[in-house]
Amino acid sequence: MKACSHISQRDPFVVALQAAMLLLVAQIGFSAGGDFHAGLNAYRSGDCPRAAEVWSKHSQLQPASGTFINLGLAEWHLGRRGPAVLAWERALWVDPFNADARENLRFARKAAQLEAPTLTWFEAASLWLPINAWALVAGISLWAAVAFVTLPRILRWRRANWQQALAAAGFAIFLLCLPSLYGINTRSRLGIVLEKETELRLTPTRSAQTMMLLPAGQPARWERARGEYLLIRTGYGQGWIERSQLGLVCPK
Amino acid sequence: MRRAHTPAHLACLALLCSSIAICLAQTPPPSQPDPTVQLLQSQPQVDTASPVVAAATFDPPVVRPGGTSTYRVTFNAMMDSVQWPEDLVAPKQLELQPGGRGQLLLPAGASLQPRTTFNTRVKATNTGAFTIPRYLVYVYGKPVTVPAADLQVVEDPAVAVPATPEVRLSLGATNVFVGQPVSARVVLEGNVNGVLQALAQIKLVGEGFVTDTTFARQTIQPMDAASGSLPAFVYETSLTPVTAGVLPITAQGFTAGNQFVGPITITGRATILGGTPLYELRDTLPVMLKVRTIPQDGRLPGYHGGIGQFRADSPALSTNSVQVGEPVTFSVNVMGSGNLARLIPPAPPKVEGWKVYAGKPDPGPAQLIEARGFITFRFTLVPTSEKTKATPAIPFSYFDPASERYVALDLPSLPIAVKPSAVPINLDDFADAAGPAVGARAEPKLSALAPGRGKTMASLQPWQQHPWFPLVQLAPVVLFAGLWGWDRRRRFLAANPEIVLRRRARRALQREWTAVRRAASVGDTPRFAAGVVSAFRVACAPHYPAEPRALVSTDVLPLLPESESAMHTAVRAVFAATNAERFAASQTPPADLLALRHELERARTLLEEKLR
């Protein structure tokens, strides 16, 4: 009763705004869950194109590891290897401990004779935690260390050994997180070639010389962009491809 | 003028002469010709230099309406050099369908002459005389004229044209599974007079299957025909489909007269055509083979691609008594129909007490296995414990296309006596014998559907790449700065408590004066007077300092300007009225106190300014 009276005393506009926000959040959550199960039903009834379409839209609305795994399965059964590999890579991006995504990628790369992305040591280290956990740990450790150094001075507390130790530990954790944060940044430039026999061009022009044909599902690193073309680096070499032919694991 | 020879010139000349002498002395003997080149040179050369001539005929040249004839074009050139047109120009009344095409190398003196034939199946529905006109075909990059050919389609031919014996293809089964061997039979019957000829270079044409020529055999045997029993040339082989779907398969071969290639079995009476063979390319109508994939459901352990109906003989051991670490051979014969010659031993099981090494395929050739009717699997077993009393059962299964299900044909275990080893052995030497070791990575396979959404993110972009991330990192800085400022202010106020007192007094004055205004607005003189007194006391208390309730009008008046006499009078009047009300209960404050409101308001403003 008290709570009701408290609400009733509030500004009606604020109350209406809060209610609308709650409804919107609930609607998004309900819609996402409904779409996911609609995709499951379509897939189980053999309608893979419909399932892929539903999960693709759903993954844009709310990226989720399960959605990406299922999207990859639907794409794989449709014979679209590039989008399938991209979906599973995104599932690993969301959840680096997802065994299904890892196994599916192994299967796809063995079946289609594809390369796996070559990761540097700091990129491999960035797989030890979810991508946003590194930023969280780094932020907390840094500012905790700063706090333990500065707050005793600010608040004129007596300096204690435990404060120094915690500050040192915080700085150490922060420094250990830096390579992984850099690794996440470089991994975000990883992409997957979507179409089979994608032409790797010497120059970013339509009439450029074709250096080689890349298979669908081939990993590549985005170096820079020029117009409608991207300069990518693959295990086969460096060259230009059209923007629409490369799907980034972390879309910009 | 003569040039004098210097010693340097002479030395160079001598060096040159000696070099030439050394080179001449070291000239290698003529090299031995390469045996491969010699072998190639000994073979008759293929004649590609002769002028290319094309010949075109209809076989037969006269047919009834609805009958079929073969339009046959022959070149004396290699097949790859002929740019055969995809579409032939022909009268609309003729239905053309591409047929076989093949190449033969015929001895012509010291060389071999190529002969390439292109067949087109022609069906005529209307009567009349039809001509496929002459046209150009490029051979070896040069144009060659293919002459015109005539076909007569008549209801009742004036001259009886003997029917050309057809080549027929029949398959042992037309609804099979991928990997299931299918027997194929190509038959060329003799003519009505019982004269027949052989076929050479027979092959099955189509996609999605593999022809197994190791099982090919040819016979001449009597066959029942409409005109009675006629001898026929029969060629039997086997094919294995490798892709699912409906596969059109045709057979083709060159008529070779009495020129047989390889052994042939002749049964019954037959008259074989003599003379020079014509080497005409004959082909069959396509036969459709429906191929399905083997179902994955119900697959049993030990399945390694066996399709057919098999049974296993009693297995046998090389010995019935061994020591730990001593190998023993387990062998079993498998017989039946299907891809017997291609059967692969099942994967060795991994059981406690035994190391089972993968079975080796039967070393015998496929023809021998087919001829003897069984294949032998041999496994090498090594006991690793003396407690074992029998060999392990080895899972084995095959797919039965008749019942369309997998059938278990496990190889049974056999009793054996295992004794302790006389010498110490290292059992680790037998590691990896039975498949991958524990902990090795299994073959990858696609996962099942994820039942739920799993872990979610608001965006695939990591937090550190969002524009708000640096702003969030500024929050602790702001917090620390705020803490620092708060602490500094706290210490300053602790050192200057009058600031706090004045601030509190100012707030209390504002609060009291609000009540005063409210009382004045409703004409409540007692509350107005009490409020003014209370407000003035609160405003003046920090200046002494003193308890506000202890102050009287004489404490307030020194804080007001002496020149404001009206203000002083008003303050005194209010305090007097309040005191009168407080100490003489019957007396009420005069109503004209409200008229002093303006002066009292000014006094309040002055006191509030003094508190700042």
Nearest Cα neighbor of B288 from B402, B203, B173 is B173
Report yes or no: B340 and B409 within 8 Å, Cβ to Cβ.
Answer: no
Is the CB of residue A249 less than 8 Å away from at least one CB of chain B?
yes
Closest partner CB to A62 (pick from B446, B449, B456): B456
Q: In the listed set B104, B128, B153, which residue is the last one of a domain according to the structure?
A: B153
Q: Cβ A251–B462 below 8 Å, yes or no?
A: no
Residue B454 lies inside a defined structural domain of this protein: no
Q: Give the DSSP letter of residue B438.
A: T
What does the pLDDT read at residue A4? Answer: 37
Name every residue whose Cβ is closer than 8 Å to that of residue B344 and which is 6 or more positions away in sequence: B304, B305, B306, B361
Query: Sign (positive/negative) of CA torsion B28, B29, B33, B34?
Result: negative
- Say whether both B555 and B506 belong to one domain: yes
The Cα–Cα gap between B446 and B448 comes to 7
What is the rounded CA–CA span in Å between residue B99 and residue B84?
A: 13
Find out whether B185 and B202 touch, Cβ atoms under 8 Å. no
Closest CA to B388 of B426, B362, B414: B414
Do residues B378 and B331 share a domain? yes
Contact flag A184-B462 (C-beta cutoff 8 Å) = yes
Q: Does B544 touch chain A (CB under 8 A)?
A: no
Q: At what angle do helices A48-61 and A65-77 cross, to 10 degrees?
A: 150
Cα(B212)–Cα(B240) distance, integer angstroms: 7
pLDDT at B4: 45
pLDDT tens by residue, B536-554: 999 999 988 888 888 988 9
Domain residues of chain A, as ranges?
2-111, 122-187, 190-248
- On whether residue B486 sits in a domain, the answer given is no
The answer regarding whether domain A190-248 maps to CATH 3.40.50.300 reads no
- The residues near B609 (Cβ < 8 Å, ≥ 6 apart) are none
A132 interaction partners in chain B (CB closer than 8 Å): 457, 462-463
Q: Is the peptide bond before B60 cis (omega within 30 degrees of 0)?
A: yes
CATH number (domain holding residue B392): 2.60.40
Contact (CB<8Å) B460/A93: yes
For an interface test with B, give the residue of A25, A94, A187, A248 to mutate (most B CBs within 10 A).
A94
* 252 residues of chain A, pLDDT tens digit each: 333 334 344 556 666 666 666 555 555 554 556 688 899 999 988 888 999 999 999 998 899 999 999 999 999 999 999 999 999 999 999 999 999 999 999 999 988 888 899 899 999 999 999 999 999 999 999 999 999 998 888 888 888 899 999 999 999 999 999 999 999 999 999 999 999 889 999 999 988 888 888 999 999 999 999 999 999 999 888 999 999 999 999 987
Please state which CATH class domain A2-111 belongs to: mainly alpha
| pLDDT number for residue A22 | 56
* Residues of B with Cβ-Cβ distance to A93 under 8 angstroms: 460
**What residue spans of A95-232 are helical by DSSP H?**
99-111, 121-125, 131-154, 161-187
**Any domain includes B236:** yes
In a domain, B573, yes or no: yes
Q: Which candidate in A107, A113, A137, A142 is best for mutational testing of the B interface (most B CBs within 10 A)? A: A107
Distance of alpha carbon B11 from alpha carbon B29, whole angstroms: 31
Q: What confidence score (pLDDT) does residue B2 get? A: 44
Same domain, B268 and B375: no
Are A69 and B473 inside 8 Å of each other by CB? no
Query: Domain limits at B212?
Result: 167-292
Q: Please indicate, yes or no, if residue B108 is contained in any of the structural domains.
A: yes
User: Same domain for B229 and B127?
Assistant: no
Nearest Cα neighbor of B324 from B243, B267, B269, B382 is B382
Exposure letters B593-612 (e unless 16+ CB within 10 A, then b): bbebeebbbebbeebbebbe
* pLDDT computed for residue A5 by the predictor: 39
Q: Which residue, A95, A107, A230, A250, is CA-closest to A187?
A: A250
Contacts of A130 (CB under 8 A, 6+ apart): A94, A95, A96, B455
Total tally of structural domains belonging to chain B: 4
Query: With an 8 Å Cβ cutoff, is A147 touching chain B?
Result: yes
List, in order, residues 6 or more apart from B567 with CB less than 8 Å away: B560, B561, B599, B600, B602, B603, B606
Domain boundary among B424, B447, B479: B424
B396 and B358 fall within a common domain? yes
Instruction: Supply φ then ψ for residue A178, to 5 degrees.
Output: -60, -45
Half-sphere exposure of A25 (CA within 13 A, CB side): 6
Query: Which residues does A172 contact at the CB level (< 8 Å), separation at least 6?
Result: none
Q: Which long-range contacts (CB under 8 A, 24 or more apart) does A126-129 make?
A: A126/A179, A126/A180, A126/A181, A126/A183, A126/A184, A126/A187, A127/A92, A127/A96, A128/A96, A128/A180, A129/A96, A129/A180
Which residues does B458 contact at the CB level (< 8 Å), separation at least 6? Answer: A62, A63
Q: How many CB atoms lie within 10 A of CB B54?
A: 21
Q: Do A107 and B463 touch (CB under 8 A)?
A: no
Q: Is the ipTM of this complex over 0.90?
A: no
Q: Give, in order, the Cα–Cα distances in Å from B457 to each of A55, A60, A90, A188, B461.
A: 15, 11, 11, 15, 9
Does residue B34 lie within any of the structural domains?
no
Question: Domain of B280: which CATH number?
Answer: 2.60.40.10
C-alpha distances in angstroms, B185 versus A170, B265, B289? 83, 15, 14
Residue A30, pLDDT score: 47
Sign of CA dihedral A132, A135, A138, A142: negative
Residues B249, B205: contact at Cβ < 8 Å? Answer: yes
What is the distance between the alpha carbons of residues A73 and A59, in angstroms, rounded to a whole number? 14
Q: Is B9 exposed, middle or buried (0-12, 13-18, 19+ CB in 10 A)?
A: exposed
Q: Is B482 an interface residue toward A (CB < 8 Å)?
A: no
Same-domain check for residues B172 and B238: yes
Q: Are residues B147 and B175 in the same domain?
A: no
Instruction: Enumerate residues 6+ apart whose C-beta is below 8 A from B438.
Output: none
Distance CA B539, CA B445 (A): 85
Q: Say how far residue B58 (Cα) sits from the centre of its chain.
A: 49
Residue B463 lies in a domain: no
Instruction: Say yes or no: B416 and B527 in one domain.
Output: no
In a domain? residue B29: no
Residues of chain B short of pLDDT 70, as ranges, are: 1-33, 40-41, 159-163, 226-227, 424-441, 585-589, 591
From the CA of A227, how many Å to the nearest CA of chain B?
A: 23
DSSP state of A236: T
Scanning B378-496, the segments in alpha helix (DSSP H) are 468-495
How far is B504 from B521, CA to CA, in rounded Å? 26
Residues B284 and B332 in one domain: no
H/E stretch holding A20: helix A12-44
Q: Does A62 touch chain B (CB under 8 A)?
A: yes
Taking CA atoms, what residue in A is nearest to B461?
A: A250
d(CA B16, CA B19): 5
Q: Which residues contact A122 (CB under 8 A, 6 or more apart)?
A: A179, A180, A182, A183, A186
- Do B564 and B602 touch, CB atoms closer than 8 A? yes
Domain boundary among B91, B122, B153: B153
Over the stretch B459-472, which tens digit does the pLDDT of each residue have?
Answer: 999 999 999 998 99
Taking the C-alpha atoms of residue A127 and residue B3, their distance in angstroms, rounded to an integer, is 87
Give the residue from B460, B486, B492 with the most A CB atoms within 10 Å of its CB, the best one to mutate. Answer: B460
Clarify whether residues B188 and B219 are in a common domain.
yes
Q: Where are the beta strands (DSSP E) in B25-166?
A: 45-46, 54-59, 62-63, 68-75, 82-83, 94-108, 111-124, 128-132, 135-139, 142-146, 149-153
Q: Is A110 left (phi over 0), alpha (psi -120 to 50) or beta?
A: alpha
- Cβ-defined contact of A107 to B446 (cutoff 8 Å): yes
Closest-CA residue of chain A to B457: A63
* B473 lies within 8 A of chain A by CB: yes
